[in-house]
Amino acid sequence: MRSRTLKTLQNLCLDEFKINLYEYDNYSFSGNTSGTFWSALYLQLEGETIFKFQNYDIIASPNDFFYIPKGCRYNHIQKGTEKCKFYILSFSFRESEGDRYDSICSFTKINSISPQQAKKFLDFIYNSFDYGESAKIESISNFYKLFSELLPYIKNEKNDPIHPAIRKAMDYINDHLLEDFSIKDVADFCNISESRLYHLFNEQLHTTPIRYKNHTKIKQSFVLLTTTNLSVSEIAEKLNFASATYYRYAFRKTTNSTPTRYRKIFRLQNNNF
């Protein structure tokens, strides 16, 4: 008789498993700067949110599907006043010796299944909690099946860090924020083509170099709006926006607000009249 024992089975036993459907009508903020307790599958249903990491941001738009590993450090911000709705399926595998499947991977945008498939899967799990134990068991079974299909596409944290060219590009943008430079200048500094830079930004940051550049400028403008009396036109000029009109457009695109309104709310909240 021959027998085989799956020694890693204990690494695959679920210790925690829950799903939440969040809906917000106004600005919301949640912080996980100490690291998330569980891993999660995240599906953006409506609106946009920002995952703010230490060195970069990722914008989640409708139908974006992400894997969030246990211990991931980020802030989660809903943009402006637009309605926001998203699923979070949180799970944790039992603690055991060696690397756990949910602890060796990094934050990843999942493209291996369609948003429609992801929503159908999460809808079933969310509704299964109303239909007794058999439905819950089926949900867990479906989870294992889905996770096994996703695992080959989830980036390994140890072998797949942010591309060096992306690091150089982000450093260049931050260091030259007050200067007039093009995306071609950034690509030349990174010794890659402009099209390759766009590809890497889309693949790893899920945005474009222009959007990242504008978003970084907008974050810097938050400081100028709240610590100086510079006019909107002066801030636009200082940050090398093409015009005050374009600055207002980019600001609204990022925050669903205006620079003037942002400054007014900040001063009211801080009693700085």
Does position 41 have pLDDT exceeding 70, yes or no? Answer: yes
Q: What are phi and psi of 120, to 5 degrees?
A: -60, -45
Question: For the residues 14-40, what does the mean pLDDT come to?
Answer: 76
What confidence score (pLDDT) does residue 5 get? 44
Q: What are phi and psi of 200, to 5 degrees?
A: -65, -40
Question: For the residues 203-221, what does the mean pLDDT come to?
Answer: 84
Question: For the residues 74-95, what does the mean pLDDT come to?
Answer: 78
Does position 269 have pLDDT exceeding 50, yes or no? Answer: yes
Q: What are phi and psi of 268, to 5 degrees?
A: -65, -40
For 138-153, the pLDDT digits (tens) are 888 888 888 878 877 7
Find the angle CA(158)-CA(161)-CA(166) to the nearest 5 degrees.
175
d(CA 29, CA 36): 15
What confidence score (pLDDT) does residue 7 get? 46
What confidence score (pLDDT) does residue 156 get? 62
> Burial code of 9-26, b = ≥16 C-beta within 10 A, e = fewer?
eebbeeeeeebeeeebee
What confidence score (pLDDT) does residue 232 get? 93
What confidence score (pLDDT) does residue 273 get? 45
